[in-house]
Structure 1
């Protein structure tokens, strides 16, 4: 079974965005050191809309210019070290500005779908060009939607195809959310494996021009989220995330659902969720799955999760760790 270790490379999106240094650069350096020691590739889905916001606003602050330079240098270093750089879009950055020493966040257009279709085509072209100019032409052929909001796919499919991005890795089987800016429904997706698709990434289509390589997921009881909350509050320094910002919490209805009945969660290397890695791997092996796709965020890693991840990566699993490049052959 292949293992893909994927990271969403981004800031936080609420009123406390965190700093580039602590939420992106430093934790990614730790990941690079670990990956080099183990000889494994990682995949970074880079929130390129944030990069362009830095470029657009850097005239207002020397710090933004330093942040842009640091991120570009790190992306180049990741590519040179053999890691993949892929496309991640949080389009609300189009509406954010730097003022009075901080980002003034406007997430009303959090979903790429909130833009007209001709604007989506333009944005995907600008974003993919920017990222390829930084990372190199061999990168940027896979996509992960910001907040997993990839539906309805037909509204963004032409834009992705136009920039030669034909692999998606946004779906996690069983997942669902119904907040205003953050909604998706992956309950119809197959439980394991990967598949070609056309207009709906949860519906396999052998003749489809796109390939879905879903994020792995697992069913979790309500007690898991109670334990997660306990870990954050009482876990001490090892439980503290590296990022110095604060995440936007789930919608009220989503939180009630998670705390009251079983739900599906991504298989993650972040924080306390990293405690699920071993169990999820065994479940996927027993099911005969072709891959285990693990998601993470540099900003949400912690000393606890780094230890869990390193213990998870046995010699055999390191040999089986890949990126998305091998999947391109399935689209020929």
Structure 2
């Protein structure tokens, strides 16, 4: 009996913390990404890495100046890891957080501070600046990976903020970007400084679009591969149970791998819509919602994880191992987005 085919994408935002304390490269990037690679490799799964090139461009400047030994070492180790992942058939693409241009580096701690969120959204920059930033980012990754720029055809927006897309259409076309991974199903943040609204896109879908990222266009120039989200039970029992599990895990020492502080962006009931939905993510996968992830893959042919290496813990890895063990036993899986029929055909 043939197993049902599941399109299972593991996407990761490869970035430091975006607040007052960036954390270290070792704890936020190198160690957790290696752990994720080793686990996925066990099941012959590949990942898609969206590299915060706005950070990497800043780090490259320090490395070229060769003034700060620790920063130079960080840059070399990041490049080595990206090269290793590419050689092992992971996809590597750009991810932009433009407020890195206002970041300050502390050579003593070898960390960064990001306290200015004026340019958190890409849309705060003029079109020519955005075009230049994308070109620089693609050139940087192409040089690190030793690949043609044409292979860097995918994108994820920093903070999921890619709307209104008509502002970016020509920039994307000029730089050969065809695939977007920014739309987070059933989520919205209505604060103008961090704005996105994906409450009306087709749920858990892959579709073509043109100048409106939320509107299907059969002959569109771009393809959206939306991020999966599951609807949490709204019962008080479920809410309390989730909080209790997280508290117990914290007390047991299952803290996030990263050692920095998150950006202070407004995620509260006044700005965020549909709090009953939660993105599918390695860092959110616990014993509490494990059965919900199994149910999701059972009921859907497409499932995209969005995860952040810096935010995972060892319990998350344990549960991901259980999820993968179950999934490969019951289904045929594809983790290469280019082999998905909607993309391949």
Would you call these one fold, judging by a TM-score over 0.5? yes
Structure 2 alignment gaps of length 5 or more? 1-5
Decide whether the 8 Å contact of 1:238 with 1:303 is kept in 2: no
Which of 19, 23, 26 matches 1:18? 23
Decide whether the 8 Å contact of 1:196 with 1:205 is kept in 2: yes
> What does residue range 123-202 of structure 1 map to in structure 2 within 5 Å?
123-135=133-145, 136-137=147-148, 139-202=151-214
Does 1:244 pair with 2:256?
A: no
Cα deviation, 1:227-262, whole Å, max 9, x if unaligned, reads 55544444234531111112235516347868xx75
Q: TM-score, normalised by structure 2?
A: 0.86
Decide whether the 8 Å contact of 1:173 with 1:217 is kept in 2: yes
The root-mean-square deviation of aligned C-alpha atoms, in Å, is 2.6
Does 1:321 pair with 2:344?
A: no
> What does residue range 49-88 of structure 1 map to in structure 2 within 5 Å?
49-58=54-63, 59=65, 60-88=67-95
Q: How many residues align?
A: 328
Hey, what does 1:107 align to over in structure 2? 117
User: In 2 relative to 1, CA 270–249 (structure 1 residues): closer, same or farther, beyond 3 Å?
Assistant: farther
Which of 248, 271, 279 matches 1:266? 279
In structure 1, C-alpha distance between the alignment counterparts of 2:331 and 2:151, rounded to whole Å: 22
How many angstroms does 1:207 deviate by? Answer: 1.2
Decide whether the 8 Å contact of 1:269 with 1:296 is kept in 2: yes
Q: Tell me which moved more, 184-193 or 95-104.
A: 95-104
User: In 2 relative to 1, CA 320–327 (structure 1 residues): closer, same or farther, beyond 3 Å?
Assistant: closer
Q: TM-score, normalised by structure 1?
A: 0.89
Q: Tell me which moved more, 277-286 or 118-127.
A: 277-286
Q: Tell me which moved more, 135-144 or 73-82.
A: 135-144
Q: Tell me which moved more, 125-134 or 76-85.
A: 125-134
User: In 2 relative to 1, CA 256–186 (structure 1 residues): closer, same or farther, beyond 3 Å?
Assistant: closer
How many angstroms does 1:109 deviate by? Answer: 0.5
User: In 2 relative to 1, CA 227–257 (structure 1 residues): closer, same or farther, beyond 3 Å?
Assistant: farther
How many angstroms does 1:42 deviate by? Answer: 1.0
User: In 2 relative to 1, CA 203–281 (structure 1 residues): closer, same or farther, beyond 3 Å?
Assistant: farther
User: In 2 relative to 1, CA 226–115 (structure 1 residues): closer, same or farther, beyond 3 Å?
Assistant: farther
In structure 1, C-alpha distance between the alignment counterparts of 2:235 and 2:68, rounded to whole Å: 45
Decide whether the 8 Å contact of 2:15 with 2:51 is kept in 1: yes
Hey, what does 1:302 align to over in structure 2? 313
In structure 1, C-alpha distance between the alignment counterparts of 2:142 and 2:165, rounded to whole Å: 23
In structure 1, C-alpha distance between the alignment counterparts of 2:25 and 2:122, rounded to whole Å: 23
How many angstroms does 1:94 deviate by? Answer: 1.7
Structure 1 SS opposite 2:57:
helix
Decide whether the 8 Å contact of 1:267 with 1:276 is kept in 2: no
- Structure whose CA Rg is larger: 2
How many angstroms does 1:181 deviate by? Answer: 2.8
How many angstroms does 1:324 deviate by? Answer: 2.4
Cα deviation, 1:246-305, whole Å, max 9, x if unaligned, reads 2235516347868xx75322111114568545424523543xx44100111110110110
